[in-house]
Structure 1
Amino acid sequence: MGVDEQLLLIRNYNLWSDISDEEYEELNLIHHFIEAKRNEYLYFESHLHNKLYFLKEGYIKIGYIDESGREIVKEIIRKGEVFGQITLERNNLRGEFAQAYKGNVSLCAFNIEDFERLLQQKPGIALRYSKLVGHQLKKVETRLVELLHKDVRSRLAGFLLQLINQEIKPGSTAVVSNFLRHEDIADLIGSSRQTVTSLISEFEAAGWVFFTRKTISVPDVKALQKLVAVG
């Protein structure tokens, strides 16, 4: 990928959208740009991590290996989201891995010390970063609350609503890319693959959602919202 293409990807990221050309050069953003191939690890549990990653293209799988050796998915990071040391602490990701998922990925990576200096220099970026992290933490909090207080049907409905949130428009079907295995969804909502597969079939039979190999479409958002409310 050429320098111009890299700069275009960086500009398309909300955090850097208001930065001038001079500031791009001053902050040396282009040198923080990296790419990773499908299934490549950005970090793994045996490493110490002091980096922050902003995902520009693709998907990142965040997970860990349990005592039985099974891979557990904690989160799927999508374009426009941040992962790694998002609280700007040091070496607190032991046991966690981040892996390029479903395809190649493009990212912007910072050492914690470098990013802290950047936030001190650019208060506007600091404000946008705090909002970005707050939004992601809110999603995690919502999922934890649902895990504690909702049944699995409601949790699946809530997860799907979170997934399509930015695509919801009154009177139209919300459609997103289908980048998730049923096993991944099960990990993310605290269920089993068999249960998730059964519930998806139930939702499809009711006309609430439709899964294909490439897309997830939700023609009946209100039905899912009702499930979450009563679950």
Structure 2
Amino acid sequence: MGSDDKFLLIRNYDLFAHITDEEYEELNLAHHFIEAGKGDYIYFDSAYHNKLYFLKGGTIKIGYVGEDGKEVIKEIIRQGEVFGQFTLERNNLNGEFAQAYKADVSLCAFNIDDFEKLLKTKPAIGFHFTKQVGQKLRKLESRLLNLLNKDVKTRLVNFLIMLAQEYGNKTANDEQTVQNFLTHEDIAQLIGSSRQTVTTLLNELEAAALVEVSRQQIKIPSVKKLQKSLAVS
């Protein structure tokens, strides 16, 4: 990728949208730009990994390898989100990995020390970064609350609604359409269930005309009706 393309990608990211051309050159942001192919690991053995990443394009899978040797998905990162040591702590990723998922990815990577220096010299970037981290923490809190003391159907419905709120496009009235970047296995791991159960429940929701799921998209004809379905289930 050429330097002009990197410049446009980085400047289109909310965090760096307000810097001047001179600041872009001064901060040497292009130096922090990296690309990875589908299936490549951004990091794997993260015990001493002290970087944070801003995803410019593509999708990242965050997970860990369980005692049985199987991968477990913790989170799916989409374009515009931050991952890695986003709290600016050190050595606390506890063995998680980050992998380019389904397609090539482009991102900005910073060592914690370098990024802390950047925040000290550019308070405006620090302000936007604080907002972004706050949004991420609220998202993680919502996911955690969804896993507590709720049956699988409730967790699935709440997950679909959160998905629509975060990534959906409102097409008509209360209808939401989301690009489908998740398999049934992905959803199962993210809500603490099994693929078979998720498939069964999605089929039930489709039969009730509450969702429409294809490989390309997930459509919720009415978010309100989907939410109300929990009260009568």
Measured against the shorter chain, the TM-score band is: over 0.9
1:79-133 alpha-carbon deviations (Å, 9 max, x no partner): 0100000110111113100000010000000000000011111111111111111
TM-score by length of 1: 0.95
Q: Which runs of 4+ in 1 moved over 4 A?
A: 227-231
Q: Look up the SS of the partner of 2:59 in the other structure.
A: strand
Which residue matches 2:33?
A: 33
Q: Look up the SS of the partner of 2:35 in the other structure.
A: strand
Whole-Å separation in 2 of the counterparts to 1:134 and 1:145: 16
Which residue matches 2:186?
A: 184
1:51-76 alpha-carbon deviations (Å, 9 max, x no partner): 00000100000000110111100000
Whole-Å separation in 2 of the counterparts to 1:227 and 1:45: 43
AA at the equivalent of 2:178:
V
Whole-Å separation in 1 of the counterparts to 2:203 and 2:160: 14
Q: Look up the SS of the partner of 2:48 in the other structure.
A: coil
Higher alpha-carbon deviation: 25-34 or 211-220? 211-220
AA at the equivalent of 1:190:
G
Which residue matches 2:219?
A: 217
Q: Look up the SS of the partner of 1:62 in the other structure.
A: strand
Distance 1:26 1:129, change over 3 A: same
Which residue matches 1:90?
A: 90
2:111 pairs with 1:108: no
Alignment of 1:54-73 (within 5 A): 54-73=54-73
Whole-Å separation in 1 of the counterparts to 2:22 and 2:216: 40
Alignment of 1:1-231 (within 5 A): 1-45=1-45, 48-166=48-166, 167=168, 169=170, 171=173, 173-227=175-229
TM-score by length of 2: 0.94
Identity, % of aligned pairs? Answer: 62
Shift of 1:200: 0.8
Are the counterparts in 1 of residues 55 and 108 from structure 2 also a CA contact under 8 Å?
A: yes
Shift of 1:173: 2.8
**RMSD of Structure 2 on Structure 1 (CA):** 1.7
